[in-house]
Copies of this chain bind each other. A is one copy, B any other.
Amino acid sequence: MSQQRHGSTPGNAGAVPAFPDLPEATIARLPEYLRALHHLAETGADTISSEGLAAAAGVNSAKLRKDLSHLGSYGTRGVGYDVALLVDQIEYILGLDQRRAVCLVGVGNLGHALAGYAGFASRGFRIVALFDADPARVGEQINGLTVRHFDELPRVAAAEALAIGVIATPANAAQAVADGLVAAGVTSILNFAPCVLSVPPGVDVRKVDLAIELQILSFHEHRKASLTALPGGRENAGGQEAVGS
């Protein structure tokens, strides 16, 4: 079995560094593997073949083996991967052993739903603070948390070691919120506002734009319709398109 807990000393030729430099697409697939592995663990599986795990995660098995080789995990021929060990390795790489503190800014329609989303807690995160700039919303209780005024962010950030800020404000407020988060020491931002944020080096931003996802599907609808309309038109073999891949 060539799965190792955290790899070996950084910089050693031929060894897996303590913190591997992973392709962005691999990083985006690790959470999918983790979700599938947790599900397998719940069903009592101790080991899983690369084909089985690939199918459960919706990727092809060659890609999966390559992704996991970046972590120093090659499985065992004829046996596959040790489920518990691989969970441990991926959670370590993703830093999920830390249960990072998340704050959410903007408790309108979407922010309200995000604040109540059980999936954050079950998958390694603690939402510790909710903020809004609207005095009418300050003091509101959502899922056991009290909405605070955004002016309180610096104090809360210091007290709670906030790691990730989620922006669910309208687009015209998002840059100011991002600036406030960065000033308060937050270095990762998940942005739901439909706009591009400008942040200094060292701050990571991920963006989820729900209308863009529909527009991409609209493209595929349009493409499929044009293929059907052409002489000899063929249907495309569609399938899963994971966000971030």
| Nearest 10 interchain pairs by C-beta | A95-B222, A113-B113, A58-B196, A188-B217, A123-B211, A31-B212, A201-B237, A31-B215, A202-B235, A204-B220
User: Using a CB-CB cutoff of 8 Å, which residues 204-237 of chain A contact chain B?
Assistant: 204-227, 230, 235-237
Residues of B within 8 A of A235 (CB): 201-202
- Give how many A residues have a beta carbon under 8 Å from the other chain's beta carbons: 88
Listed stretches A62-70, A96-104, A130-138; interface member = A96-104
Residues of B within 8 A of A219 (CB): 22, 27, 30, 93-95
- Interchain CA distance A119-B192 in the complex, whole Å: 11
User: Using a CB-CB cutoff of 8 Å, which residues 8-38 of chain A contact chain B?
Assistant: 10, 18-19, 22, 24, 27-28, 30-32, 34-36
A210 touches B95 (CB 8 A): no
Can you give 18 A-B contacts (C-beta < 8 A)? A32-B196, A93-B219, A94-B216, A95-B218, A95-B219, A109-B116, A119-B211, A122-B211, A166-B214, A187-B238, A188-B221, A201-B239, A202-B238, A204-B238, A206-B241, A213-B244, A241-B244, A243-B243
